[in-house]
Amino acid sequence: MTNDPRRANRNFAPPPYSDRDMTFSKIARHGLFATFLIAFGAISTLATAQISSKSVVSTPQVRAELMAHAPEGADPGKTVWVGLQLAHQPEWHTYWKNSGDSGLPTSLQWTLPPGVMAGDIAWPVPKKIPIGNLANYGYEGTVLLPVPLTVTPDFKPSVLNNDIEIKLRAAWLVCRKECIPEEGEFTLRVPVRGSTALNGAAFDAALKAQPIALTGASRVEIHGNALQVSVVGLPPALQGKTLDLFPETPEVIETAAQWTQGWQGAVWTARLPLSPQRSQSPALMPLVLAADVGGQRQGYLAQAQVVGTWPGVAAAEGVSPALAAALKANASAATAPARPAAALALWAAVLGALLGGLILNLMPCVFPILAIKVMSFTRHADDRRGHRTSGLAYTAGVVLSFVALGALMLGLRSAGEQLGWGFQLQSPAVVAALAVLFTVMGLNLAGLFEFGQFLPSRVLLLESKNPAANAFLSGVLAVAVASPCTAPFMGASLGLALGLPALQALLIFAAIGLGMALPYLAASLIPAVARLLPRPGAWMDTFRRAMAFPMFATVVWLVWVLGQQSGIDGASALLALLVALSLVIWSLTLAGAARGVIATVSIAIGAMLLLAIGQNVVKPLDVPATTAARADRWQSWAPGRIDQLLATGSPVFVDFTAAWCVTCQYNKKTTLANPEVLAAVDARKVVLLRADWTRRDPAITAALSELGRNGVPVYVLYKNGRAPVVLSEILSVDEVRAALESL
């Protein structure tokens, strides 16, 4: 009867350390699906974003999206509208077909199936953008550049794929005080039969912004170094109004110079100075005039015949000197070979990543995992070969997981997603999955159940023969729970990784993993370190059960994080489901007839709860921007808010934080709430802003990228006339006070 080890385990107590140290390995191995769901949960939770990212490209300055509008389908003979929508960050702009004194217009190169032809961009009316002593024509805010596609009878859709595949390669120059050439490749599918009208409002607005063609004999007369313009056919409602003028022909007039306009009855007239660098001598000048009509901006297009003889043409410059310098600077920055200083910076970043990974072991979630792994040495105290194998396998799991997570993040960013380090915990589904896993781990460590009760003996034997696989999966799980936060020394390294080639960036992620695995690796490879560990004994059972409480504490934290994302309903639903899960696990440990009855009832209860309230767990919480920062002293961060405050002369302190970042919460409750720090803030009239990155926010991701960071916490002090001061990840009262006193 006692030959069955499972029966013997119920009848008398074996040495408490004989099989307990395998507990975490079993969780890692048999929870393989849950582990990968958590470590790489962004793959599933961002699946929709990944599909749509083919039509979206985001940079810190612009979000570009390829859109389509075909409310009546795309059958032959019909016109399909497509367009590139550019959403600019505050103060940034792109250019019209005539960019003015500097700049370049946005260009679109289409790849279309046979029988589908693209027309020209239907340019909306631009605005005049003064820059110093120059003036440009372009767009700020959000603009859609619509293009008509003609579907001819020659178009033959595939039998298997009844869609029109539209590919676009776009290039645009985005400028503020500096200019950045950017480009993107987009793919979109439009069904031939069926309605595509999701973006109807955007296309309607863009088409209404088109200039209306005027009739009548408008003209441009050449008078020496000036042009005398006469436009007829304008609506009577415009008479007497001041109009904006945008010539479609570039490099003819002096864009930023003063000019005059007036009305002669129903004829609008203007006198425009010629550009000293004029390179065009057109016979016909299309002119766009714009004014507010009925509270809306409306444009009118006049085809003006040129009368007279053009003066001599200046030598063509190609682009303006300012633009040429900007393009040259960007090109040289992109193609310059790596210098010794750059190589030194890379290795400094690798060292910082290594130290940051080492400190990650002190995160509350990770320490119990590391402790359990180190205690597994005591199972075979003299098995040096087994220790080395386990240590190397654990290190491989940690390093490869960090590299895979970094590659996933870099890949999604290159596809247009604004993501940063810890992006997986911005998904309520991933947070809930972590809470489930840690609940199961806590119940197991507390002794409620053993995996051996539910697994066939063949599986247990297979597991015992593969300790390296267990150690590897332990490393994967450790990364899943440690990765969200940015430890000291990691911030600058991760920020630098975003601007490096892929291989160099992945080297930094690998260094983080190596740093995190170092303690366990050292204990496995160096006998002197292993000898410092406690010897096997009955104390290990007590230690194992004690480790359940940090797991349950982690569940409390995760439920709180979910509450920030899905509200009180989401957090309550998760708690109820965790209780139901615990009931199911307990029921499966029972013996006899009661097990079947109670397990069936508990599973039914869990299923009903999941159907009734499960959707609340992943339902996003709509939080008004004005209430995102609840503390009285703190205001909500928003794009452009810093510049607005600096313009008033106020210094600004920004806390980039997230509910799932333990370091952020520690700094918030200690240093940032310290009376001495708050007194220094009040004395210097510093405005406090809080950028909450708990849920995905591309604007915050872009702001972090501008600071050379891609994870939280980040603390920045701004003041007019000086560069932003980025403080350390773990704040001290003295550091913050010193930074404030330097204002």
If pLDDT is split at 50, 70 and 90, which confidence band does 21 have?
A: very low
Domains of the chain: 21-49+338-618 (no CATH), 59-209 (2.60.40.1250), 213-315 (2.60.40), 625-741 (3.40.30.10)
| Sequence letter at residue 594 | A
What is the predicted pLDDT for the residue at 192? Answer: 80
Q: What percent of the chain has pLDDT over 70?
A: 75
Helix, strand, coil fractions of the chain, as percent rounded to 5: 45, 20, 30
Q: Count CB atoms within 10 A of the CB of residue 5.
A: 12
Cβ-based burial of 264 (10 A; exposed 0-12, middle 13-18, buried ≥19): exposed
What is the predicted pLDDT for the residue at 494? Answer: 61
pLDDT tens digits for 597-623?
A: 998 999 999 999 999 888 888 877 654
What is the predicted pLDDT for the residue at 373? Answer: 62
User: Any residues with CB less than 8 A from the CB of 104 and at least 6 apart, and which?
Assistant: 95, 172, 173, 181, 319, 323
What is the predicted pLDDT for the residue at 659? Answer: 75
pLDDT tens digits for 370-408?
A: 666 666 655 555 667 777 888 888 889 889 988 887 787
Question: Which range among 161-165, 272-276, 362-366, 594-598 shows the weakest confidence by mean pLDDT?
Answer: 362-366
- DSSP character for 197? -
Distance (Å, whole) CA 104 – CA 119: 20
Taking each helix axis from N to C end, the angle separating 384-414 and 490-498, rounded to the nearest 10 degrees, works out to: 50
Distance (Å, whole) CA 44 – CA 80: 32
Say if residues 232 and 269 touch (Cβ distance below 8 Å): no
Distance (Å, whole) CA 66 – CA 168: 8
pLDDT tens digits for 242-269?
A: 999 999 988 889 888 889 999 998 999 9
Token pair 């690998």: residue? 510
pLDDT tens digits for 624-641?
A: 443 444 446 899 898 888
Question: Which range among 115-119, 159-163, 332-336 shows the weakest confidence by mean pLDDT?
Answer: 332-336
Whether the pLDDT of residue 33 is over 60: the answer is no
If pLDDT is split at 50, 70 and 90, which confidence band does 447 have?
A: confident
What is the predicted pLDDT for the residue at 455? Answer: 54
If pLDDT is split at 50, 70 and 90, which confidence band does 536 have?
A: low
Say if residues 218 and 225 touch (Cβ distance below 8 Å): no
Enter the tokens of residue 174.
């985005």
Mean pLDDT of 265-286: 88
Choice between 618 and 170, residue whose per-residue pLDDT is larger = 170
If pLDDT is split at 50, 70 and 90, which confidence band does 512 have?
A: confident
Taking each helix axis from N to C end, the angle separating 539-546 and 548-588, rounded to the nearest 10 degrees, works out to: 90
Q: pTM value?
A: 0.44
Distance (Å, whole) CA 448 – CA 582: 9
Distance (Å, whole) CA 153 – CA 297: 38
Instruction: Please tell me the number of Cα atoms within 13 Å of 197 on its side-chain side.
Output: 7
